């Protein structure tokens, strides 16, 4: 049990770090997909099947593909330089990240909540989830439906080509102010 | 029933042979190996049948040289594929190039794990089985992308992007039309869906108005999902050579082929499970014939239907394909959900049947009329060409 | 049968549905449209007959049994708006009469409007008109009644102005609408007042309605205006509405002008729907007026107005030359009789005359329509004449109607119903003048109807002498088609028969309306003053007929060349006054309209000679004010404000350097802040 | 003994990796990916706490995860659309150039 989890966690973390470090963007996304799959495996580990499958369906099936499409659509721009990491304060950023992790880890080890053992068997039933979605959480569910609709329309509108302006995807330079090279 | 019980007890006996620690693994292998071998064999048979049938449709013989009537053609094909040179393009990403067909095959085969082949004959019994099926199916898109991207070939990349766009678009009506069945059965578990259709041909879901429309939508979406003709644009030879498979050869190509067929089998098995009563016999008298037989019979019938469609239908254009998915399939499947809701709230019966039929037929005719009025078939738009012209 | 009450809405509902169908479905064929409207009306008539059978008669004197169906229309907060239908003897006889007369008018219109291009629209309006009137009849709620009342007004506006291409018709429909609206103002105020006092507008509601004893007691005890009780005041206010609708003096001026509409419309307005609404309203709220010691002033007001109207209408009718205008003034006069009867005798007396009048007035108008149709839209009686031979059916039926209107003794319905009114007026305790005015009116009625008959049907035909007639295209009068004659025949029969349901010998009508046992009063005719009054009124009527014949017989008089005999006999100027309808229109013109004009001129003068000269003064004041504020602005506000702005700007320039515009930098700050907080939390021993 | 700690540590690790990526990557798409990572880290916490919660039928944790997944998907869609829209204007997805509001 713990061994399986350790392997999964290791793969997940490693691929997450790879996703945030690699130079090649497509590789980044593929690593990200592995991370998402690892997280789904963690859910299955925690005997949350429904959520795990949802995770695979949404993240592996949809979000990563979306990211890939976005990547392929934003190619060929005026990349400033080849260095992908932010050159100015990458050390500060890294430090902040490590500091955050340290603080969180300290908090986790200090907390008394984490001492309790898991109940022996806890099964998630799809029916119960559905019932609590439609009883207790029906209002958030409806709001979410609205949000998804709005997001769908909004994303389509945002990504639509702007016909009026001259800055079509194939024109050479933007007409907007702000020279990006300074 | 007797057949399934026999199989299960047999498996338990065999598992006992293994040492204690290996029993779970052994049990899993005993569940999977028959399924995989059955579908592998089916793959061989179906490729031959497809070529023969297409030949008949096109007024020619089809393979008839190897063995009597060409029945050993699959074996010959296999040998040919295995002995061909495996070419990896120089600039391709070797690891990803290798892993793509395997990933595709794995996703296709994993889908079979939740299909109930008979009473209690299901490899893994998940409570959210159908969700698993679709989730794994979603991962196939990623495999297609990896194949296209790792090849470092423009045709391959374009083909894979087309395939992904198509699969994502058609996944929505696919899932929505199966949701209708889940609503009626009240469960996400496929064995329970099959149980809900027990009792002969008249209780299959295809005979309800929503089931009928849902089944048709599901079949169309399935065609698109497995890139079969008339939705085989990603592999349109005349446009994209072979799509994401352009840079593959030899055994990897064969694996692509196998994955595609297994995916088709899995989808057909799911169709049969959702709408055609799964492993149930059409008449209660025929119950003595084991369930797997019926499931495979239905599956093969559907596959033959697909081959027939491939032989008769011309290929769609890419923009028409997407318009069809978003403008027709999606509204119809949403409408089908509404109809299902009405059906359930009316509690079935003749009245509900009439209401549902009227709702669905009205939606179909009204919507298709509206669509055909609003958009006559338009010439293909070359946006890139137009805009450059405008800029010049 | 008692659940019929819940379907009673079908009676107005069907014609209104037909009207809607004809309005929104304009592709209907002309014939089909007419038959749709007619069949809807016929169904309403059948339902009305069932309703008539369903209304129970009560054997007890003064107690009326009513079928009531009340329901909640909508809820406002905790209180709910309840409306309802009612079915009682009062409205059931009206229902039968209105549906029947409307049905005949509908059938008649098929012939009369045959060539009109807006035939379908005409039937839509007619159906709306009749439907609204029927809704008014079955309403058990004053507001519902008022709404139907207004729809009746609207439909009358549409129908009177149906030939709106004629300027006179356009003016007439506006006049009708506005004049009745003046009366409606009174009705509306009365309604609001009634609601304020009684708290409900339901007429009958199991003891809670505003016309039932508990509310009546309350209203009768409250003080109203001008020394009257609230009941009397409300009654008077409601009567204002009735005055407008039923053409009572002085709001009767629209009624003669309403003759600009098509003749079937006139028939419908005068016989069945519009003018009857006012009388019906007063009959409906009659309990309010007759509550002991509460409504006497209102009743005498109604009586006087009725008597004056009866006399004035009759007088004006004597001098008119337009065929339909004479009938219009006769209607005004007869409506005056009804109000007189209502004021002196009660509901049954007025309603009896209303019913009989409806039949013979519908007959007269339809007959007049037939004459006009036959004479190719000629309406001036001086150019008619001799039609007796050419239009025999029209002549015979018109003669019956004329005799009924004049009140020819014993055989006609008008005699019996008018006699009831005279009887009631004679026994009125107030003043003898109304009775005498009514007698004079009765004499004049016979006189002017004889005058009209002589002009139209006797002598020789003068249609050729019209300017537009020529030798090549002679204007030849002809008899009307069967669809127009059939209603005439039916109505002629009824104009005679209807009277016998309310003779003193066998007063079925009174007992039906007011309750009480019905029996044969064999000697009632010879009882007390009844006989004298019968003989007296008969003599008056016969006298009127004889005088009329003597004046206007074709043997001695040619309308086109001779001066009107009445003009010769009367002192100079009297006849002109009568012909000009007592100059009432001119009076309104010079008072109301002139007043409004003077007001406008006054306002213009004020503008031109007072406001404009004052303008420079204002401007100068404004300039001075602005000088002061400018000084203040420049030397006090700006100075301090500019300095402080400068300071803020300098400071904010320093602060704004923190805004790098880089989200990642911001996020870093946020993360560090989080780390800081977490450290503090952990350091503080947080769990 | 199986405790919450490894799950929480995994979650914290993922969160910090995502955070660092968001702070340092120069491609807006990968910044969005980092945000997704952070959201997923939170989700792991939800599921882990649900698993270790003694109540039998309380599904709140899972429901929250489902909500988060849906919202994150919407966020990804809108965010990527924004990135594409930005790319059309500036020909770049580097957040550093988006500093028109710089003080």
- Least confidently predicted of B203-217, B236-250, D81-95: B236-250
**Chain pair C-D, CB pairs under 8 angstroms:** 34
pLDDT tens for A81-116 read 445 555 566 778 888 888 888 888 888 887 777 666
- Which chain C residues are closer than 8 Å to A100 by Cβ? 671, 674-675
User: Does residue A63 surpass a pLDDT of 50?
Assistant: yes
Can you state the angle between helices B154-185 and B330-346, rounded to 10 degrees?
Answer: 10
B332 to chain A, any CB pair closer than 8 A? The answer is: no
Average pLDDT over residues D5-21: 89
Which ranges constitute the DSSP H helices of C268-346? 274-284, 286-290, 296-317, 323-344
* A180 has pLDDT over 70: no
Task: List chains touching A (3+ CB pairs under 8 A).
Answer: B, C, D
Chain C residues close to A92, C-beta within 8 Å: 668
Nearest to A57 among B131, B149, B188 (CB): B131
Nearest to D103 among C658, C664, C667 (CB): C658
- Band the pLDDT of B268: cuts 50, 70, 90: very high
Length of chain B as a residue count: 392
Mean pLDDT for C43-57 is: 83
Which residues, at least 6 apart from C454, have a Cβ–Cβ distance to it below 8 Å?
C548, C549, C552, C553, C554, C557
- Put simply, the chain B residues between 255 and 314 with a CB less than 8 A from any chain A CB are none
Q: Is there contact between B and A if contact means ≥3 C-beta pairs under 8 Å?
A: yes
Distance CA B232, CA B230 (A): 6
Give the confidence band of C180 by pLDDT, cuts at 50, 70, 90: confident
The helix/strand/coil state of C643 is helix
Question: Is the Cβ pair D103, C656 closer than 8 Å?
Answer: yes
Identify which of B291, B300, B290 has the alpha carbon closest to the alpha carbon of residue B269: B300
Q: What is the pLDDT of residues C455-474, one digit of tens each?
A: 888 777 777 666 565 555 56
- Contacts with D54 from chain A: Cβ below 8 Å: 116, 119
Q: Does chain D touch chain C (at least 3 C-beta pairs within 8 Å)?
A: yes
Average pLDDT over chain A reads 78
Question: Closest Cα partner for B273 from B285, B291, B249, B287?
Answer: B291
Domain positions in chain D: 5-93
Share of chain D above pLDDT 90, in %: 21
Cβ neighbors of C497 (< 8 A, separation 6 or more) are: C413
pLDDT class of B385 with cuts at 50, 70, 90: very low
Residue B301, pLDDT score: 92
Å from A58 to nearest chain C CA? Answer: 27
Distance from CA of A96 to the nearest CA of B (A): 34
Spacing of C-alpha B117 from chain mean position: 16
The answer to whether the Cβ–Cβ distance between C664 and D102 falls below 8 Å is: no
Classified as helix, coil or strand, C72 is: strand
**Residues of chain D with C-beta less than 8 angstroms from the C-beta of A146:** none
Asked if the structure places residue B169 within a domain, the reply is yes
Are C678 and A104 a contacting pair at CB < 8 A? yes
Q: Is C651 on the interface with D (CB under 8 A)?
A: no
- Fill in the DSSP letter of residue C556: T
A residues 109-128 near D, CB within 8 Å?
Answer: 109, 113-119, 122, 124, 128
Only one residue has tokens 């409205």, namely C91
Q: Which residue has the higher pLDDT, D103 or B28?
A: B28
Q: Which residue from D minimizes the CA distance to A72?
A: D84
Q: How far is A153 from chain D (nearest CA, A)?
A: 9
Average pLDDT over residues C169-190: 85
B113 shares contact with chain A (CB less than 8 Å): no
- How far CA C612 is from CA of A34, C600, C603, C622, C623, in Å, comes to 86, 17, 13, 16, 18
At C441, the pLDDT band (50, 70, 90 cuts) reads: confident
User: What region, left, alpha or beta, does residue C570 occupy, with left being phi > 0 and alpha being psi -120 to 50 degrees?
Assistant: beta
Q: Which two tokens stand for residue B26?
A: 């052994």
Interface of A with C in 24-83 (CB under 8 A): none
Q: Output b/e per residue, C296-333; b: 16+ Cβ within 10 A.
A: bbbbbbbbbbbbbbbbbbbbbbbbbbebbbbbbbbbbb
Query: How many angstroms separate the CA atoms of C119 and C285, rounded?
Result: 38
- Evaluate whether chains A and D are touching (3 or more beta carbon pairs less than 8 Å apart): yes
Out of A31-40, B61-70, C252-261, C476-485, the most confident range is A31-40
At residue C335's C-alpha, the angle toward residues C491 and C432, to 5°, is: 130
Contact between B126 and A65 using a beta-carbon 8 Å cutoff:
no
Question: If 0-12 CB within 10 Å is exposed, 13-18 middle and 19+ buried, where does residue B300 land?
Answer: middle
- Cβ atoms of C537 and C419 within 8 Å: the answer is yes
Nearest CA among B211, B264, B4 for reference residue B122 = B4
Q: Please report the pLDDT score of residue A38 as a whole number.
A: 92
User: What would the two tokens of residue C355 be?
Assistant: 């019913």
3-state secondary structure of C202: strand
pLDDT at C280 (0 to 100) = 87
Read off the pLDDT of residues C528-548 as tens digits, 9 standing for 90 and up: 667 777 788 888 888 888 888
Biggest CA–CA distance in chain A, Å, is: 64
Report the distance separating Cα B64 and Cα B52, nearest Å.
9
A-chain residue closest to C674, CA distance: A100
Q: Chain A 89-108, CB below 8 Å of chain C: which residues?
A: 89, 92-93, 96-97, 99-100, 103-104, 106-107
Query: Are chains B and C in touch, 3+ Cβ pairs below 8 Å?
Result: no
Residue C624 has pLDDT above 90, yes or no: yes
Identify the band that residue B375 occupies on the pLDDT scale cut at 50, 70 and 90. Answer: low
Q: DSSP letters of C79-122?
A: EEEEEEEEE-HHHHHHHHHHHHHHHHHHHHHHHHTTT-TTHHHH
Mean pLDDT of B58-81: 86
Which residues on chain B are in Cβ contact (under 8 Å) with A171?
391
Domain assignment present for residue B84? The answer is: no
Give me the residue from B131, B139, B142 closest to A54, CB to CB. Answer: B131
Alpha carbon of A174: minimum distance to chain D alpha carbons (Å): 6
Distance from CA of A84 to the nearest CA of B (A): 21
| Chain C residue with Cα closest to D94 | C662
Angle subtended at Cα C174 by Cα C168 and Cα C179, rounded to the nearest 5 degrees: 120
User: What is residue C473's predicted lDDT score, i.e. its pLDDT?
Assistant: 58
Neighbours of chain D (3+ CB pairs under 8 A): A, C
Query: How many domains are contained in chain B?
Result: 1
Is A89 strand, coil or helix?
Answer: coil
Q: Which of A162-166, B196-200, B289-293, C570-574 has the lowest mean pLDDT?
A: A162-166
Residue B378 belongs to some domain of the structure: no
**What are the φ/ψ torsions at residue C683 (nearest 5 degrees)?**
-60, -35
Integer angstrom CA distances of residue A101 from C235, C674, D17: 89, 11, 9
Average pLDDT over residues D42-65: 84
Distance CA C671, CA D24 (A): 13
Q: What is the pLDDT of residue A117?
A: 65
Instruction: Judge: A20–D18 Cβ closer than 8 Å, yes or no.
Output: yes
* Closest by Cβ to C662, choosing from D19, D22, D99: D99
Residue in the structure block whose two tokens are 């309605």:
C209
Q: Do C95 and C549 touch, CB atoms closer than 8 A?
A: no
Is there a domain that residue B143 lies in? Answer: yes
Determine whether the interchain pair A70/D18 forms a contact, defined as Cβ–Cβ distance below 8 Å.
no
- Per DSSP, B315 falls in state P
**Residue B118: domain span:** 2-19+26-61+90-371
A18 at interface of B, judged by CB pairs closer than 8 A? no
Tell me which residue in A93, A100, A113 faces C674 most closely, judged by beta carbons: A100
- DSSP assignment of chain D, as one string? ---SHHHHHHHHHHHHHHHHHHHHBS-HHHHHHHHHHHHHHHHHHHHHHHHH---SS--HHHHHHHHHHHHHHHHHHHHHHHHHHHHHHHS---GGG--TT--
H-type helices in chain B, by residue range?
2-17, 23-57, 73-83, 94-111, 129-150, 154-185, 190-196, 209-225, 237-240, 250-275, 291-312, 318-323, 330-346, 349-374, 383-391
> What pLDDT does residue C621 have?
92
Rounded to whole angstroms, the Cα distance separating C20 from C125 reads: 9
Instruction: Tell me the percentage of chain B whose pLDDT exceeds 90.
Output: 11
Q: ∠ CA C81-C83-C89 to the nearest 5 degrees?
A: 160
Q: Roughly how many angstroms between the first and final C-alpha of chain B, as a whole number? A: 74
State phi, psi for B280 to the nearest 5 degrees: -80, 145
pLDDT in tens, B271-280: 999 998 888 8
For residue B387, is pLDDT > 60? Answer: no
Judged by CB atoms within 8 Å, which residues 27-86 of A form the interface with D? 28-29, 32, 35-36, 39, 42-43, 46-48, 50-51, 54-55, 58-59, 62-63, 66-67, 69-71, 73-74, 77-80, 83-86
Decide which of 1.10.3720.10, 1.20.1440.230, 1.20.1630.10, 1.10.287.3510 is the CATH code for D5-93.
Answer: 1.10.287.3510
Distances (CA, A) of B151 to B95, B233, D10, D96: 11, 19, 35, 33
Nearest to residue C395, comparing CAs of C370, C375, C412, C415? C370
Nearest to A92 among C668, C674, C681 (CB): C668
In whole angstroms, give the CA distance from residue B382 to residue C528.
108
| Distance (Å) from the alpha carbon of D95 to chain A's nearest alpha carbon | 10
Interface of C with A in 645-684 (CB under 8 A): 664-665, 668, 671-672, 674-675, 678-679, 681-682
SS3 (DSSP) at B134: helix
pLDDT at C686: 60
Closest CA to C524 of C419, C408, C411, C407: C419
Disruptive mutation site among A87, A105, A107 for chain C (greatest number of C CBs within 10 Å): A107
Q: What is the pLDDT of residues C351-384, one digit of tens each?
A: 888 888 888 888 888 888 888 877 777 777 777 7
């Amino acid at each position: 049990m713990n061994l399986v989890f350790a392997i999964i966690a290791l793969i997940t973390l490693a691929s997450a770090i790879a996703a945030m470090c690699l130079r090649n963007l497509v590789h980044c996304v593929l690593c990200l997909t592995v991370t998402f799959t690892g997280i789904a495996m963690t859910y299955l580990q925690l005997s949350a099947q429904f959520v795990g499958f949802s995770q695979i369906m949404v993240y592996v099936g949809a979000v990563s593909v979306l990211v890939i499409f976005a990547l392929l659509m934003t190619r060929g721009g005026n990349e400033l330089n080849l260095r992908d990491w932010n050159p100015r304060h990458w050390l500060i950023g890294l430090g902040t990240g490590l500091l955050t992790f340290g603080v969180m880890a300290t908090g986790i080890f200090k907390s008394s909540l984490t001492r309790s053992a898991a109940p022996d068997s806890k099964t998630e039933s799809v029916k119960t989830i559905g019932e609590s979605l439609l009883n207790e959480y029906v209002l958030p569910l409806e709001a979410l439906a609205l949000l998804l609709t709005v997001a769908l329309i909004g994303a389509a509108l945002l990504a639509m080509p702007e016909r009026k302006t001259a800055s079509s995807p194939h024109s050479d330079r933007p007409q907007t102010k702000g020279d990006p090279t300074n | 029933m007797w057949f399934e019980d026999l199989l299960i007890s047999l498996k338990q006996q065999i598992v006992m042979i293994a040492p204690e620690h290996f029993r779970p693994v052994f049990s899993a292998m005993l569940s999977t190996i028959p399924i995989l071998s059955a579908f592998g064999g089916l793959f061989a048979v179906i490729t031959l049948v497809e070529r023969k049938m297409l030949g008949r449709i096109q007024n020619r013989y089809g393979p008839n040289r190897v063995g009597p009537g060409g029945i050993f053609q699959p074996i010959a094909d296999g040998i040919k594929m295995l002995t061909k040179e495996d070419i990896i393009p120089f600039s391709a990403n070797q690891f990803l190039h290798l892993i793509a067909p395997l990933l595709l095959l794995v996703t296709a085969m994993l889908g079979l794990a939740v299909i109930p082949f008979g009473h209690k004959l299901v490899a893994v019994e998940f409570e959210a089985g159908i969700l698993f099926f679709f989730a794994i199916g979603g991962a196939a898109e990623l495999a297609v992308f990896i194949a296209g991207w790792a090849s470092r070939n423009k045709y391959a990349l374009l083909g894979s992007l087309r395939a992904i766009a198509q699969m994502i678009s058609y996944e929505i009506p696919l899932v929505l039309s199966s949701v209708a069945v889940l609503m009626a059965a009240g469960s996400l578990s496929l064995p329970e869906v099959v149980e809900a259709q027990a009792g002969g041909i008249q209780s299959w879901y295809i005979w309800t108005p929503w089931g009928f429309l849902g089944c048709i939508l599901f079949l169309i979406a399935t065609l698109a999902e497995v890139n079969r003709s008339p939705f085989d644009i990603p592999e349109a030879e005349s446009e994209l050579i072979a799509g994401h498979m352009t840079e593959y050869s030899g055994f990897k190509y064969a694996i692509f082929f196998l994955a595609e067929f297994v995916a088709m089998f899995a989808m057909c098995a799911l169709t049969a499970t959702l709408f055609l009563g799964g492993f149930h016999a059409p008449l209660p008298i025929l119950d003595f014939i084991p369930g797997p037989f019926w499931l495979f019979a239905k599956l093969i019938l559907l596959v033959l239907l697909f081959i027939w469609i491939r032989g008769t239908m011309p290929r769609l254009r890419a923009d028409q394909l997407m318009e069809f998915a978003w403008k027709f399939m999606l509204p119809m499947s949403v409408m089908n959900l509404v109809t299902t809701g009405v059906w359930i709230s009316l509690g079935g019966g003749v009245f509900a049947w009439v209401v549902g039929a009227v709702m669905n037929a009205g939606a179909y005719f009204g919507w298709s009329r509206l669509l055909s009025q609003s958009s006559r078939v338009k010439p293909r738009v070359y946006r890139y060409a137009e805009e450059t012209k405008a800029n010049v | 049968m008692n659940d019929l009450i819940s379907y009673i809405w079908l009676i107005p509902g069907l014609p209104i549905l037909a009207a809607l169908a004809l309005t929104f479905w304009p592709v209907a064929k002309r014939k089909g449209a007419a038959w749709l409207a007619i069949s809807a009306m016929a169904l309403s008539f059948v339902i009305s007959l069932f309703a008539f059978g369903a209304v129970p008669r009560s054997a007890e004197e003064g107690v009326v049994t009513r079928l009531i169906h009340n329901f909640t229309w909508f809820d406002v907060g905790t209180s709910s708006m309840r409306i309802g239908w009612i079915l009682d003897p009062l409205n059931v006889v009206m229902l039968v009469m209105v549906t029947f007369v409307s049905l005949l008018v509908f059938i008649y219109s098929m012939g009369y409007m045959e060539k009109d291009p807006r035939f379908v629209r005409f039937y839509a309006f007619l159906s709306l008109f009749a439907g609204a009137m029927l809704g008014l009849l079955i309403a058990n709620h004053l507001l519902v009644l008022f709404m139907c009342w207004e729809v009746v007004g609207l439909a009358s506006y549409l129908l009177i102005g149906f030939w709106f291409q004629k300027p006179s018709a356009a003016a007439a429909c506006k006049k009708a609408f506005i004049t009745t609206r003046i009366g409606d103002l009174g009705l509306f105020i009365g309604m609001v007042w009634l609601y304020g006092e009684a708290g409900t507008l339901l007429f009958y509601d199991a003891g809670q309605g505003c016309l039932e004893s508990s509310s009546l007691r309350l209203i009768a005890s409250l003080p109203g205006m001008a020394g009257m009780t609230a009941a009397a005041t409300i009654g008077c206010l409601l009567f204002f509405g009735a005055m407008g609708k039923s053409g009572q003096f002085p709001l009767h001026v629209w009624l003669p002008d309403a003759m600009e509409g098509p003749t079937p419309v006139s028939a419908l307005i005068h016989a069945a729907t519009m003018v009857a609404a006012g009388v019906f309203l007063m009959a409906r709220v009659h309990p309010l007026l007759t509550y002991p010691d509460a409504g006497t002033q209102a009743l005498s007001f109604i009586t006087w107005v009725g008597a004056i109207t009866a006399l004035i209408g009759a007088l004006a009718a004597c001098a008119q030359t337009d065929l339909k205008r004479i009938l219009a003034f006769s209607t005004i006069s007869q409506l005056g009789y009804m109000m007189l009867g209502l004021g002196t005798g009660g509901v049954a007396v007025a309603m009896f005359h209303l019913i009989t009048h409806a039949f013979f007035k519908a007959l007269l108008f339809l007959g007049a329509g037939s004459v006009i149709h036959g004479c190719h839209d000629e309406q001036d009686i001086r150019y008619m004449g001799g039609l007796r031979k050419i239009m025999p059916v029209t002549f015979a039926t018109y003669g019956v109607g004329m005799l009924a209107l004049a009140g020819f003794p014993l055989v006609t319905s008008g005699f019996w119903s008018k006699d009831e009114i005279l009887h009631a007026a004679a026994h009125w305790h107030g003043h003898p003048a109304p009775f005498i005015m009514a007698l004079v009116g009765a004499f004049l009625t016979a006189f002017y109807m004889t005058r009209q008959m002589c002009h139209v049907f006797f002598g020789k035909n003068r249609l050729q002498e019209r300017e537009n007639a020529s030798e090549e295209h002679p204007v030849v009068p002809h008899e009307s088609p069967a669809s127009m004659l059939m209603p005439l025949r039916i109505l002629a029969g009824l104009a005679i028969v209807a009277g016998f349901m309310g003779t003193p010998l066998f007063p079925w009508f009174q007992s039906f309306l007011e309750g009480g046992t019905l029996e044969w009063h064999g000697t009632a005719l010879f009882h007390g003053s009844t006989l004298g009054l019968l003989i007296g009124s008969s003599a008056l009527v016969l006298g009127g007929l004889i005088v009329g014949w003597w004046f206007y017989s074709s043997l001695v008089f040619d309308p086109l060349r001779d001066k009107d005999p009445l003009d010769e006999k009367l002192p100079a100027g009297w006849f002109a006054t009568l012909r000009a309808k007592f100059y009432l229109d001119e009076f309104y013109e010079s008072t109301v309209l002139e007043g409004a004009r003077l007001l406008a001129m006054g306002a213009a003068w004020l503008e031109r000679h007072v406001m404009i000269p004052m303008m420079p003064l204002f401007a100068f004041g404004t300039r001075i004010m602005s000088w002061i504020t400018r000084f203040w602005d420049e030397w006090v506000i700006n100075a301090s404000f500019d300095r402080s702005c400068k300071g803020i700007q300098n400071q904010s320039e320093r602060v704004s350097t923190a805004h790098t515009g880089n989200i990642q930098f911001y996020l870093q700050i946020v993360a560090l802040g989080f780390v800081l907080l977490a450290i503090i939390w952990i350091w503080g021993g947080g769990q | 003994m199986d405790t919450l700690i490894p799950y929480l540590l995994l979650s914290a690790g993922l969160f910090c990796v995502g955070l660092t990526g968001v702070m340092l990557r120069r491609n807006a798409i990968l910044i969005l990916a980092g945000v997704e990572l952070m959201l997923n880290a939170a989700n792991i916490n939800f599921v882990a706490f649900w698993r270790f919660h003694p109540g039998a039928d309380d599904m709140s944790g899972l429901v929250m995860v489902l909500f988060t997944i849906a919202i994150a998907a919407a966020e990804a869609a809108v965010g990527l659309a924004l990135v594409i829209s930005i790319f059309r204007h500036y020909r770049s997805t580097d957040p550093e150039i988006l500093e028109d509001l710089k003080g």
